[in-house]
Amino acid sequence: MISIAKILVPIDFSPRCAWAARYGSKLAHLFRAELLCLHVGDPSQLARLKAFVGPEVPGVRRASVVLEGDPAEKIVDFSKVNAVDMIVMPTHAHGRFRRFLLGSVTAKVLHDSACPVWTGVHHADTPLSIKMDLNNIVCAVECDATCVPLIQWASELCELAGAKLYVVHAVPAADETSDNRGEIELRRFLFERAESEFVRILAAVGIAIDVTVAGGPIVRVVRDVALRHHADAVVIGRGHTLAGLGRLRTHAYALIRESPCPVVSI
């Protein structure tokens, strides 16, 4: 099963970081983990940090730390040195370009962190719910071996939370809006090929789960599936700096930007 012993929540005293503290607290209860609250700034802010997070994380084992330096670098370094298992943070979406840009600190953490990063809804005009219900979880996968650890992680999360899992794979070349005969035949061929490949890959590791194959741009397909199933979280593969980049990994930022619910990037 998933082992999450330490959850890191970076805090900059904004309302969205208050949400992250509350959300991280809920996850800490779920995983029976310790919550580490980190502020990067003036060391004299430690008392303020403790006062800020105290009301947001009742009944959770926690530690508060203040470090000086570059926020993104300190968050990533702290997570490595302290063997953090998950980072929870908002995307800091503000202003007229909020649909297109991720906050620079969040983007750097997503790029450099080796552990899963759980981000909030990107749109500033979307309310950040205090509730953390995990009833339905969508897992977006590539049609290759990288889908195995991702589905396993998402399956274990669902088992732990008592949630239902929906696995989806997008085929950008298949236009589901077209009624052209040639397009229909191409779509059938691409879908059947993907479905048979998933059967082969998953059977080899003993995973029995249905994978929904849908045509269209990856970001739109994942968003539509998340909306259709009222998803409480979307699990995606993020990849790391030196990893080979597949299509899903290159769309990670866009998936986070457009998701109607929090996204956990593995």
Who wins on pLDDT, 126 or 77? 77
pLDDT band at 127 (very low <50, low <70, confident <90, very high): low
pLDDT of 250 strictly over 80? no
pLDDT of 245 strictly over 50? no
With tokens 């309310």, the residue in question is 127
Angle subtended by helix axes 71-81 and 104-112, to nearest 10: 30
pLDDT at position 97 is 41
DSSP state, 43?
Answer: G
CA 237 to chain centre: 8
pLDDT band at 101 (very low <50, low <70, confident <90, very high): very low
pLDDT at position 244 is 42
pLDDT of 234 strictly over 50? yes
Average pLDDT, the chain: 88
* Range with the poorest average pLDDT among 12-26, 124-138, 225-239: 124-138
Who wins on pLDDT, 152 or 246? 152
pLDDT band at 50 (very low <50, low <70, confident <90, very high): very high
Nearest of 76, 142, 153 to residue 110 by alpha carbon: 76
Note the pLDDT tens digit of each residue in 175-191: 788 888 888 999 999 99
Map out the domains of the chain with their CATH numbers: 6-119 (3.40.50.620), 136-265 (3.40.50.620)
pLDDT of 247 strictly over 60? no
pLDDT of 194 strictly over 70? yes
pLDDT of 208 strictly over 90? yes
Please state the φ and ψ torsions of residue 254, each to the nearest 5 degrees: -65, -40
pLDDT at position 33 is 97
Is beta strand 164-171 parallel, antiparallel or unpaired with respect to 263-265?
A: unpaired
End-to-end CA distance of the chain: 15
pLDDT at position 96 is 45
Strand segments, DSSP code E, in 160-246 are: 164-171, 211-215, 233-236
Average pLDDT over residues 22-33: 94
What does the angle CA 32 – CA 37 – CA 39 come to, to the nearest 5 degrees?
Answer: 170
Average pLDDT over residues 260-264: 94
| Sequence-ordered list of residues with C-beta below 8 angstroms from that of 257, at least 6 positions apart, any chain | 91, 93, 99, 100, 102, 122
Spatial distance between the Cα atoms of 235 and 208, rounded to a whole number of angstroms: 18
pLDDT of 129 strictly over 80? no
What does the angle CA 22 – CA 166 – CA 229 come to, to the nearest 5 degrees?
Answer: 70
pLDDT of 201 strictly over 70? yes
CA 58 to chain centre: 24
Spatial distance between the Cα atoms of 93 and 257, rounded to a whole number of angstroms: 9
pLDDT at position 95 is 45
Nearest of 69, 72, 79, 25 to residue 43 by alpha carbon: 69
pLDDT at position 23 is 92
pLDDT at position 128 is 53
Q: Which two tokens stand for residue 7?
A: 């959850």
Q: Are 148 and 57 in contact (CB under 8 A)?
A: no
Note the pLDDT tens digit of each residue in 77-99: 999 999 999 999 988 654 444 44
